[in-house]
Amino acid sequence: MFVDIVKITIKAGDGGNGAVSFHREKYVNAGGPDGGNGGKGGDIVFQAKDNLSTLIDFRYKKKYVAKNGDNGSSRRSTGKSAPDTVIYVPRGTIVKDSNTGRILEDISGDEPVIVAKGGKGGKGNMNFATPTRQIPRFAKPGFPGESFDVTLELKLLADVGLVGFPNVGKSSLISVVSAAKPEIANYHFTTITPVLGVVKYEEKSFVMADIPGLIEGASEGIGLGHAFLRHVERCRLIVHVVDVSEIEGRDCIDDFEKINTELRNFSEELSERPQIVAANKSDMATEEQIEKLRKYVEDKGLKFFVISAATTMGTQELVGQIAAELETLPPVIRYEAQPLTLEEIEKINEEKRSFTVEKADEHYFIVNAEWLAPILSTVNMDDYESLQYFQRFLRYIGIIDALEAAGVEEEDTVSIFDFEFNYMR
């Protein structure tokens, strides 16, 4: 089964927590803080693998989670960083944020690409010792790793794309000019998946893709072709194969226009891609049919070749022209990662620091902020300096201001998860 678009969830590892520890050694008095930092969480890494040609494996596994970094420990020991989780995909896979459609990465090169970064490790209490705070009994938690719902979309890496109606001879053409062996038969939709073939001409070579047959309305989801139009997007050159013999009762000029309309409806940029027209099945066509199509195509400024894939007539001349055209064209399209918009950045920041303050009773207030849980877990409730640090943090992020705006008064109880304290100005 050919699968070229899937949705999965990826989650990079969280950083390990910093440790709260104090040096303990026989005959050594007043050992200082020696809690180490947490280790870094594992990244989610994508890498191209050439022996993969479909995304079908992702139909059965939808979630990929990297390991968390180890927590810090005593004796200033930093926790071990977690290994990266590597996800192998076919070359040419685009990774998009499912929620926004933003391109995160184009996995087309050989180098591994980090898509979701693991969280940094939290700092141990050894980092918080000062001349006035010599016994810090708190540490920082690790930072959470990035998490995305992503859409993987395979767009074949090919220099040349063969397009045309079903049964016009695209499969026959790629089979005679390359080593590709697609199924060939005298009925529609014998090709139901894109086929790649490497074409060699003199000292040059290029990749040709046989795109399954388009029909009228393909850009709107009719027939098989709509599912494969994305695979033409990277092609530097389009070879439009037309059945000039009109043996199936269709007009070849009408066929030519309908396919170009579908390309234009799918992508205006794609419709402007350089195009060569190959009039196939010429061995069964009349001279009048050939000249009718030739005049129409050449009047549009396009190059026209008369071929017969069944007899190989004209195919080498066509390949030679393709190779010459490719010499003048830019390389295969690589999609750049799209940066976050200002609106998306603001939304992320709001979500990271969002909280609500609820007045549950006359002198009882509840703060709801899920992201505070790991921070709260590192606070030593029996240590004055640790509580001071936590209070300053609450003031910094605006929770204290929100409590005051909600009417909190001296000695009122404030609850954050299972932690309750009396408010003091």
CATH C-level class of 160-327: alpha beta
Note the pLDDT of residue 87. 97
Give residue limits of the domains in the chain: 1-155, 160-327, 346-422
Class assignment of domain 346-422?
Answer: alpha beta
Share of the chain above pLDDT 70, in %: 88
CATH of 1-155, one of 2.70.210.12, 2.60.40.1930, 3.40.225.10, 3.30.300.30: 2.70.210.12
**pLDDT tens per residue, range 44-66:** 999 999 888 888 889 889 999 99
Q: What is the pLDDT of residue 194?
A: 76
Greater confidence, 337 or 274?
274
Hunting for tokens 């530097």 — which residue is that?
236
Tens digits of residue pLDDT in 354-400: 888 988 778 888 888 877 776 776 677 777 777 777 888 888 888 99
Which pLDDT does position 190 carry in this prediction? 45
pLDDT band for position 241 (cuts 50, 70, 90): very high
pLDDT on residue 186? 47
Q: Residues 206-212: what's their mean pLDDT? A: 85
- Inform me whether the pLDDT recorded for 225 exceeds 60: no
- Mind listing the pLDDT tens digit for each residue in 77-111? 999 999 999 999 999 999 999 988 899 999 999 99
Tens digits of per-residue pLDDT, 128-159?
A: 887 776 788 878 888 889 999 999 998 888 89
Q: Which of 2-6, 31-35, 52-56, 170-174 has the highest mean pLDDT?
A: 170-174
Q: What is the pLDDT of residue 215?
A: 52
